[in-house]
Each structure stands twice: as structure tokens, then as C-alpha cells.
Amino acid sequence: MFLFLPAIIIGIILLWQGADFLIRGGQGIAKNLDVSPIVIAITIIALGTSLPELVVRVLAALGGNADIALGNTVGSNIANIGWVLGFSVLCLGSVSMDRHMLSKEFPFMIAAPVVLFLLGLDGLFSRLDGIILIAISVLFHLVLIKRVREGKFRRMIEDIGEAVIQKEKKYLFYVLAIVLGLIGLILGAKLVIDSSVGIASILRIPTLIIGLTLVTFGTSLPELATSLIAAKRRQGEVSLGDVVGSNILNIFLILGITLVIVPIPIPRSVLIFDVPVMAVFALLLFLALLKYGKLRRREAAVLLGLYAVYIGYSFLK
């Protein structure tokens, strides 16, 4: 067990540095191309911080550990709101929202547990279900693209092409920062996940609980590192956008790709308890932002407390 602890520490360092590079690169591209940071957060940053979940779920499902893959799917969305966003706001202050996000992207995040529940009623997430989820992900990105005005979007593509041709140092630096950030996030997450699973196996914790808690904690560390650094730099919209984007991608794109590769059975306990809990957390975040226009420390403390209760109950049950 003692060999796992240094690996966890190294993994956390890689996660933190990877998140720092990812945000620097994303902000640089957004600033120079006149694209809203929230668009970068929901797309590039959210996809980058969701890559560990994809790796974990595919490898777990192919290795016969479907409980870990499924537990990580549901647990990540709960952790992103209750643990990642709650802890970040509690430590570093309130996070304001983009009004367009509330009406455009939030409905997808709230719909995710509903879709998951309906598809799981037959007790199996099939390849067809995976195709349906991917199709919804495509729809989400089409909606997102509409948020960028046609002129800006066209100029953004032209600027990227010109940058590649001329090899402008500023763009190459931002792209390199994003690539290095993604590598750091994935390697760091893998170290933390493998070590967590090793410790859990020694302690003989059921695999479903490992997926819902320890593995979820490990795969959520990229989002946590990104949110903390973004909030520290007073880029709250990046923090919130990363969580919302990650939760949408986790269900519709990441799980969809996983199911196309290998179907996953869903235990009834997850369907009637954990999936509804995921819906409750999404609704609580939505209502808090709708009422106050931002997530304050008080609401963040409630989310974090509820997440602690959920984790405690998961182990007890």
C-alpha cells in the first residue's frame, strides 16, 4: 500500500500542472481569436478534463469491470457538482455564470440523467443506446456553435489557418500548452486512479463502490485542478463552464463511445438511486444560478455537504 501513496502525490502534481497549462493555452486562444472563454471551457477544456473518464471506462468495461465503468459515469457527474464545484467555490469565492449557458447548455446537463434513466430501464446500456447518446452530443455541439456569431466563427477558422501557415509563435505556444496540459492530466489521472484502485482492492471494497467513489475522485481531479486554478485567476466562468461541459460530455459523448465499444449492464440500485441523485445535484445547481446569478459559498457548502452524505451512504449501503 505504501508504494501507492507516492504515485498518488506524483499524479496530483501532474494534474495540477496539466490544468495550469490547459487553462493558459485555452485562455490564450480565446483572447487572440476573440472567442468567449466560456466556449473554450465547454469544448476544449471540458473535453480535455473528460479524457481520463473515457480511458477509465473503456479499459474497465473491456477488462470485465463494468461496475467501475458505470460507477465512474454516474459518480463523475455527481462529484463534478458536489465535490469539484462545491469545494472550489468554498475555497476561492463565488462563481458567476454566463446567462447564455443557463438557457443553452444547462438543459443538456439536466436532461442527461433523464435520458440515462430511460435508456437503462431495460437493465442494459446497449450499443444502440451509445449511438443515441453520441447523436445527442452532436446536437449539443451544434447548439454551441450557434453561440459564436458567424463572422467571428469564420474569422476564427481563417486565423487558425493563417497561424498554422505562418507558424506564429503565440498560437503555437498556446496549442503546445494545451497538448502538454492534456498529457499531464491523463498521466496524472492514471497514476491516481491505479493507486486508488490498488488501495481499494487491498481493503476489499466492492468494485461498484470503487467506481462511484475512489475512481470517480481520481478522474474528477482534472476538473478540480482546472476549477481551482481558474477560480484563483478570477476566471469563474471557465470553472463553471468546465464542470457543465464535462457533465454533458461524460454522459452523451464519453459514455456513448464506451457503449459503442462494449455494452454495459446497469444494476437496478444505480438506476433508482444514483441516477436520481445526479439529477438532484444538477437541478440544485441550476436553481442556485437562476436565483442568484452565481454560485455563492453558502450554496457551495450545501452541495459539498450533500456530496459527503452521498459518499457516506454509498459505503454504508
Q: Dump the DSSP string for the chain.
A: -TTHHHHHHHHHHHHHHHHHHHHHHHHHHHHHTT--HHHHIIIIIHHHHHHHHHHHHHHHHHTT-HHHHHHHHHHHHHHIIIIIIHHHHHHH--EE--HHHHHHTHHHHHHHHHHHHHHTTTSEE-HHHHHHHHHHHHHHHHHHHHTS-HHHHHHHHHHHHHHHHHT-HHHHHHHHHHHHHHHHHHHHHHHHHHHHHHHHHHTT--HHHHHHTHHHHHHHHHHHHHHHHHHHTT-HHHHHHHHHHHHHHIIIIIHHHHHHHS-EE--HHIIIIIHHHHHHHHHHHHHHHHHHSEE-HHHHHHHHHHHHHHHHHHHH-
> Stretch 225-246: mean pLDDT, rounded?
71
> Stretch 31-49: mean pLDDT, rounded?
60
Closest C-alpha among 172, 281, 220 to residue 51: 220
In single-letter form, the type of residue at position 196 comes to S
Residue 214: the pLDDT is 66
Residue-wise pLDDT for 115-173, tens only, equals 999 999 999 999 999 999 999 988 887 877 666 554 444 444 444 445 444 445 566 77
Give the integer Cα–Cα distance in Å for 254 and 184.
19
What is the chain's mean pLDDT, rounded? 76
| Confidence bin at 194 (pLDDT 50/70/90) | confident
Residue 27: the pLDDT is 63
| pLDDT of residue 51 exceeding 60 | yes
Residue 108: the pLDDT is 92
Residue-wise pLDDT for 54-90, tens only, equals 666 666 666 666 666 777 788 889 988 998 888 888 8
| pLDDT of residue 277 exceeding 60 | yes
Residue 204: the pLDDT is 73
- Between CA 211 and CA 217, with CA 212 as vertex, the angle to 5 degrees is 85
| Confidence bin at 306 (pLDDT 50/70/90) | very high
| pLDDT of residue 112 exceeding 90 | yes
- Dihedral angle computed from the Cα positions of residues 198, 200, 205 and 206, in that order, rounded to the nearest 10 degrees: -50
Its CATH architecture, for the domain 4-316, is Up-down Bundle (1.20)
| Confidence bin at 253 (pLDDT 50/70/90) | confident
